[in-house]
Amino acid sequence: MGTDDTDCGCDCTTAREKLYLFLDQEIDNATCAEIEKHIEDCSSCLTEYDVERIVKSLVNRSCAERAPEPLRDKVQFAIRQVEVRIESQP
């Protein structure tokens, strides 16, 4: 296993460019297998994958909670004000 982009002898740039697609399962099976193999062989990309996976998990968990009603009301009111301002301009 390599420790960085220069040691592993693989295409880290391509793997990292497709990392989000891989995490979201939005790529074809062949590309998915290539990225998975690369991550297994490259500790640098594995580390980046782990960090992105954890961040994605935290964001998903945070988005699952419903905001308290007073906050929701304030946000909806602010959105309506922006809509009114946009519509009222010449």
pLDDT tens, residue by residue, 38-52: 999 999 999 999 999
Residue 56 lies in a domain: yes
Range of weakest confidence among 4-8, 18-22, 24-28, 65-69 = 4-8
Residue 19 lies in a domain: yes
C-beta atoms surrounding 46 within 10 Å: 14
Determine the Cα–Cα distance for residues 67 and 12; give it in Å rounded to an integer. Answer: 39
For residue 29, give its domain range.
12-65
Each residue's pLDDT tens digit, 4-20:
444 445 688 888 889 98
Residue 82 lies in a domain: no
Higher pLDDT, 6 or 58: 58
Residue 1 lies in a domain: no
Structural domains of the chain, count: 1
Q: For residue 52, give the H/E element and its range.
A: helix 43-64
Give the highest mean pLDDT range of 1-15, 36-50, 51-65, 73-87: 36-50
Residue 24 lies in a domain: yes
